[in-house]
Amino acid sequence: MKKLIQIFKIPDLRKKLLSILGLLGVFRLLAAIPIPGVDPTRLQEFFASNKFFSFLDVFSGGGLSKLSVVMLGVGPYITSVIIMQLLTIIFPQLKKAYYEEGPEGKAKFNRYSRYLTVPLAALQSYGFLNLLMSQGIIDQLSLTQMLGNVVIIVGGSVLLMWIGELISEFNIGNGISILIFSGIIAGLPQSVVSSIMNYSPEKLPTYIAFVVLSVVVISGVVYVNEGERKVPVSYAKQVRGNKMYGGASSYLPLKVNQAGVIPIIFAVSVLLFPQFFAQIAGVISQGFANTVNEWVNTFFNNQFIYSGLYFLLVVAFTYFYTSVTFDPEEISKTLQSNGGFIPGIRPGENTTNVIKKIVHRITLFGALFLGAVAILPNITQIATGIQTFAIGGAALLIVVAVALEIMKQIESQLTMREYEGL
């Protein structure tokens, strides 16, 4: 509370926070404006029966389930960033630009990501509108109406991307992450109200256990999210003119959870793709779509099979994404060029192998933890029988990570101003 009061006492920080709240208010307003010709009842039934789109709706802040002008949220931009990161493996020049050209290279990387966002948003909006038309949820659209709606939806995604970048400029956290954070938090009051409406005295022990377990899980997520392995690094002494530089000792922080929440998103996309494919196939052949739907429902209605496969996919994608985004060879080269070395390890290939070994070991723990958090909502719902009780999942990981980042940024801003006062 003391720091919160300090924030509003400093004019610059107060202005930043109020500006961010205003931009988030614009986002929430846009999420409530639907496109024309929507059947609300059928739309609600569609999202209740489709886990894939219900999962995406969480990250759009409810905009997708309302078919708002920002229904896609920042999803197209996040997808484009992931694609660009994967392309750094295929194209060495792109990798060089991202890792070696410094701020200029990263600015170029971000610019390409923005360009890619537009066609991705157009494809996603066109496919989703076609799917809804085939389900009878929205009226049949003419070519002109379809193009108009696609342009509006793409414009909404680009506007959110711009709002996210504006928020980032205030240095209170990553703007895109804050938008996702606000979208997830926006659905919290409804979940609380639903839980209260379903309350009965005989369920009191279940509710108490849920609250206790929630605190334990959130504490565990914070602990693992902040966890890191500190690899000691020493720097050789260098003589330049009449002065001696170097000789200091430091450490290389390797995070336990290098991949963040991306493996969960990948795993959910893979698990729910058959159902999405069946619905798309319904436009061509309803019989084939029914056959695929029946097979998918039979297989995934078994919560134990679904949870087990989900867990394994999260673990596999954690290793995959860590190998894509973390390059031990680049770290080794950077250390060697700056005169740094791990004590007792030769610079170069030996250092690379040691870093790889350490990363593989800590990634195992991070992957197992991510997998456990991912399937925790399924376990709690099976155990309690209450659908609104869902601890864990991607939403919790994002909320905790963003809250920690915002807290660190505000603390650094306050610390900087305390030194300025001195």
For the domain that residue 322 is a member of, what is the CATH number? 1.10.3370.10
8 A C-beta contact, residue 21 and residue 27:
no
Query: Does 303 lie in the same domain as 182?
Result: no
pTM passes above 0.85: no
Note whether 114 and 254 are same-domain residues.
Answer: no
Q: Cα(277)–Cα(340) distance, rounded to whole angstroms?
A: 51
Q: Which two tokens stand for residue 63?
A: 């905009």
Q: What are phi and psi of 68, to 5 degrees?
A: -80, 175
Q: Please count the structural domains in the chain.
A: 2
200 part of a folded domain: no
pLDDT digits 0-9 by tens, 314-333: 888 888 888 877 888 888 88
3-class state of residue 245 by DSSP: strand
Residues of the chain with pLDDT under 70: 1, 36-40, 48-56, 58-62, 94-102, 135, 199, 237-247, 269, 272-290, 292-293, 296-302, 381-393, 418-422
Asked whether residue 292 is domain-assigned, the answer is yes
**Are residues 39 and 161 located together in one domain of the fold?**
yes
For residues 174 and 48, membership in a common domain is answered with: yes
| Residue 86 resides in a domain | yes
Residue 405: inside a domain: yes
Residues 106 and 216 in one domain: no
* Separation between Cα atoms, residue 38 and residue 24, nearest integer Å: 25
- Domain co-membership, 246 together with 124: no
Helix H or strand E encompassing 240? strand 238-240
Asked whether residue 132 is assigned to any structural domain, the reply reads yes
- pLDDT tens for 108-131 read 778 888 899 999 888 888 877 877
Is the Cβ–Cβ distance between 249 and 233 less than 8 Å?
A: yes
**Domain end residue (candidates: 158, 186, 214):** 186
How far is CA 385 from each of CA 195, 203, 230, 371, 378, rounded to the nearest angstrom? 12, 11, 43, 22, 10
Residues with Cβ within 8 Å of 153's Cβ and at least 6 positions away in sequence, in order, are 35, 69, 70, 71, 72, 121, 125
Residues 108 and 240 in one domain: no
pLDDT of residue 422: 45
One domain for residues 259 and 391: yes
Residue 11 within any structural domain of the chain: no
Co-location of 45 and 74 in the same domain: yes
Q: Which domain holds residue 60?
A: 16-186
